[in-house]
Amino acid sequence: MNTTQELYSREDLARLEKKTKRAGRAAAIFAAVTLMICVLLCCLTTQTNAARMEKATVAASVLGGWIVIYLYNNPVKDLRYERGHAQMLLEGERETLEGVLELSEQRMRIRGSIRFYPLTLTDGDEKRRSKVIAARADALRAKNGKRLRLYVVNGYAAAFEEL
Amino acid sequence: MNILKNFFSQWYKYVFWALMSVFFWGWIFTLLTDAPAAKKLVLCVDRPALRDEALAETLSADRPEGIKLIAVHSFDYYIFDTEELRCADLYIVGEREASTYIESFRPLDDSGFAAGGRALWTHEGVAYGVLIYDAETREGAAASYIEYTAEGETPQSYYLFFGAESAHREDGAAATLAEILFGLS
């Protein structure tokens, strides 16, 4: 008997939400620490050490800010996009595609959105295109070349069943 | 690798943040350390090779009474604000360029400074500057802070001038600072 394998579960969604919050909190803490260091350096400034303190403050601000930008651009945003898509896959209306799976090796990204791998399902002469979220591509990669039934929401694979 | 990739793909955000930091903290530190003209003495030196912070620190150690801040800047500092340059209390300018800034200088007689036997720079019969660096002997005051002659440059003598717009003629602070300056090696 064939079983349907879901790419995301409710537990995964809850886990993603937790991770998103944690990454956001880490970025916020880093920003607060940077600001506190800068304020402390300002408080320790006198007429004689002003030039040195200004350089130190700018250096702390630039480095701290860069780390915050990096944290926000990578873990926070990526997790947020993934969580949004996971929710869509769990709650969206599904359509079914059938065919032999061919999963691309080339990871792609829609600007300001999720990373994904394109895939094609070939059923006779008919080719149907879809995508799988990069974080869950490994589950499908093992089925490359096999005939599958794919459950798709808004063009993204939500679940599959080996035929 | 991922960090570098992110840096290059989002470089404009990192550059923007760096520029914002420089301008913002520069503004904050100006607010923190600046003082009103009545409590500040400004020395402008027409030499790019200048240890301005070190000189300001040395002068601040013995600053005249009532003065909160002594600032030392090269003329390049005022590239975007020439009006501010006119309001300095003291200037060190080479003899070749001195006449260009004559309107910013106060006649020596009106400065409250006793030049003693020092050589003077005069313009139309009026003395304005006091010799602070002699091109012939290559000796001068505060020479460890100011590079009066760079390599390959034709030497010229430098003079100390008093600012026409200085707020420190009456209280004698500018003259006191000039005396301290002449005492530096």
Do B63 and B16 sit in the same domain of this protein?
Answer: no
- The model's pLDDT over A105-162, given as tens digits with 9 standing for 90+, comes to 998 888 778 889 999 999 888 899 998 998 888 888 888 889 999 999 999 999 999 8
Do B8 and B63 sit in the same domain of this protein?
Answer: no
Q: How far apart are CA B24 and CA B153, in angstroms?
A: 38
pLDDT at position A75, please? 82
- The model's pLDDT over B66-122, given as tens digits with 9 standing for 90+, comes to 888 888 888 888 777 777 778 899 999 999 999 999 999 999 988 888 888 899 999
A-facing residues of B in 66-95 (CB < 8 A) are 68-69
CATH code of the domain covering residue B61: 3.40.190.10
User: Which chain B residues are within 8 Å of A47, Cβ to Cβ?
Assistant: 33, 60, 68-69
Do B126 and B176 sit in the same domain of this protein?
Answer: yes
Question: What share of chain A has pLDDT > 90, as a percent?
Answer: 56
Q: CB neighbours of B9 closer than 8 A, spacing ≥ 6?
A: none
CB of A14 within 8 Å of any CB in chain B?
Answer: no
Mutate to test the interface with B, among A62, A67, A68, A76 (most CBs of B within 10 A): A62
B19, two tokens = 């520029």
Q: How far apart are CA A123 and CA A99, in angstroms?
A: 4
Do B79 and B162 sit in the same domain of this protein?
Answer: yes
User: Which chain A residues are within 8 Å of B34, Cβ to Cβ?
Assistant: none
Domain ranges, ordered by start, for chain A: 4-91, 95-162
Q: Where are the alpha helices (DSSP H) in B117-158?
A: none
A59, two tokens = 């250096």
Q: How far apart are CA B135 and CA A64, in angstroms?
A: 49
Do B65 and B142 sit in the same domain of this protein?
Answer: yes
Domain A95-162 CATH assignment equals 2.60.40: no
For chain B, how many residues are written? 185
Do B13 and B41 sit in the same domain of this protein?
Answer: no
B58, two tokens = 């040395």
ipTM (interface pTM): 0.72
How many folded domains does chain B comprise? 2
pLDDT at position A36, please? 97
Give the range of the structural domain holding residue B21, as residue numbers without chain letter. 1-33
Do B29 and B108 sit in the same domain of this protein?
Answer: no
Name the pLDDT band for A29 (thresholds 50, 70, 90).
Answer: very high
